[in-house]
């Protein structure tokens, strides 16, 4: 078991001001750590008064060395910054390092030719396990950097500089999310946009994780450093929703019922202004089975409860729609374009009954004898 319960143990969280920051700080304090957060100071969230804030820039070797000069920590959790640089800079500053990356390293998950035609350069594994990842560089500049980060952390662990564990996040939802996807849906409820376009029946599975559940996984790894050292873990809620179920859940929380309009992606490609779905065009389902096997992981909060908390937060703190930085753009809510597509689709569907033909009913192929001796 990992140490840390009591005894003036010091922990550093790099980042700490987005959705998983406060719950990670809570997990550390529950284990007796004195916590400091290291971030740029651009975003602030409500953290306990005793939490120290180190304002600086965790993206560059020079600034990291200057910002953390003379400091040592019993444990560091890196959720932000350029982790490949942090992994090097922290070699002499901590015996225990936990880092956070993401799922784009999974084979075939990020290969996109154009919005209408997916091209995968490897079989897509669903669910995706920790070892189903790219092995060579040259896939994509962003993916290459993430692979480099993982290898830098694991190499430093193998060389004995610290005990390291790496986590791959999916989309993490909760208050203070860097990009609150729920606002796509919540705003349409507030604007009474009852007809909601869903491609392919909204059946795509896209992995999500409640921020307290992600923090809980990190806490379990801290408790079991003898097992988690040198390992990489996918992080995900036990319960996953399809795109349609996710939209329905948010509507239900807000007392609103959508009228879903199922339009094929060939007609309504994801990412265009006339469709609210900016999600993937194929399943991206991360397996969290390794967390369960190693630590007995189970969700700390129920997804439905946490999405309610998330919805309440975005209503109280409505995201800006100005296109600046990582903000939503006005084109994300182009209702005129949506209405134009819906009008065309209504015309198409009005002509469809004559093309449907005879309805076929399912018949089980096995024999169902009614009495002894029957063969069919």
Label residue 109 by pLDDT band (50, 70, 90). Answer: confident
At 140 the pLDDT is 77
Q: What percent of the chain has pLDDT over 70?
A: 91
At 236 the pLDDT is 97
At 119 the pLDDT is 53
For the chain, the structural domain boundaries read 9-346
- Lowest mean pLDDT across 12-26, 102-116, 176-190, 191-205: 102-116
Summarize pLDDT for 281-294 with one digit per residue, the tens: 788 899 999 999 99
pLDDT over threshold 60, residue 31: yes
Indicate the fold that domain 9-346 takes in CATH: Rossmann fold (3.40.50)
Q: What is the pTM of this model?
A: 0.90
Summarize pLDDT for 299-337 with one digit per residue, the tens: 999 999 999 999 999 999 999 998 888 888 999 999 999
Burial of residue 336, with CB atoms counted within 10 A of its CB: 0-12 exposed, 13-18 middle, 19 or more buried: exposed
- CA dist 350 → 85, 309, 355 (Å): 59, 41, 10
- Lowest mean pLDDT across 39-53, 63-77, 128-142, 313-327: 128-142
**Secondary structure of residue 40 in the 3-state scheme:** coil
């Amino acid at each position: 078991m990992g140490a840390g319960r009591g005894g003036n143990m010091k922990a550093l969280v790099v980042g700490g001001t987005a959705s998983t920051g406060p719950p990670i700080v809570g997990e550390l304090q529950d284990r007796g750590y004195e916590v400091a957060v290291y971030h740029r100071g651009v975003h602030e969230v409500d953290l306990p008064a005793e939490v120290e804030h180190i304002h600086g820039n965790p993206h560059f070797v020079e600034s990291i060395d200057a910002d953390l000069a003379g400091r040592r920590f019993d444990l560091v959790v890196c959720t932000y910054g350029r982790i490949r640089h942090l992994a090097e800079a922290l070699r002499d500053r901590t015996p225990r390092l936990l880092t956070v990356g993401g799922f784009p390293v999974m084979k075939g998950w990020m290969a996109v030719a154009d919005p209408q035609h997916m091209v995968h350069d490897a079989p897509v594994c669903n669910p995706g396990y920790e070892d189903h990842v790219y092995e060579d560089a040259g896939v994509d500049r962003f993916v290459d950097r993430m692979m480099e980060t993982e290898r830098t952390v694991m190499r430093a662990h193998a060389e004995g500089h610290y005990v390291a564990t790496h986590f791959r996040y999916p989309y993490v939802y909760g208050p203070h999310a860097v990009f609150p996807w729920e606002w796509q849906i919540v705003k349409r409820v507030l604007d009474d946009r009852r007809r909601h376009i869903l491609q392919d029946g909204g059946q795509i599975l896209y992995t999500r994780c409640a921020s307290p559940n992600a923090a809980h996984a990190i806490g379990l790894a801290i408790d079991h450093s003898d097992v988690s050292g040198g390992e990489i873990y996918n992080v995900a809620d036990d319960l996953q929703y399809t795109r349609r179920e996710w939209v329905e859940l948010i509507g239900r929380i807000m007392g609103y019922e959508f009228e879903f309009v199922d339009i094929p992606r060939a007609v309504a490609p994801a990412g265009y202004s006339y469709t609210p779905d900016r999600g993937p065009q194929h399943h991206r389902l991360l397996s969290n089975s390794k967390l369960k096997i190693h630590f007995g992981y189970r969700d700390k909060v129920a997804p439905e409860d946490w999405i309610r908390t998330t919805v309440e937060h975005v209503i109280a703190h409505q995201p800006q729609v100005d296109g600046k930085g990582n903000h939503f753009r006005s084109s994300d809510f182009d209702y005129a374009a949506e209405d134009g597509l819906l009008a065309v689709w209504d015309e198409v569907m009005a002509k469809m009954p004559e093309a449907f033909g005879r309805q076929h009913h399912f018949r089980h192929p096995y024999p169902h004898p009614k009495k002894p001796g029957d063969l069919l």
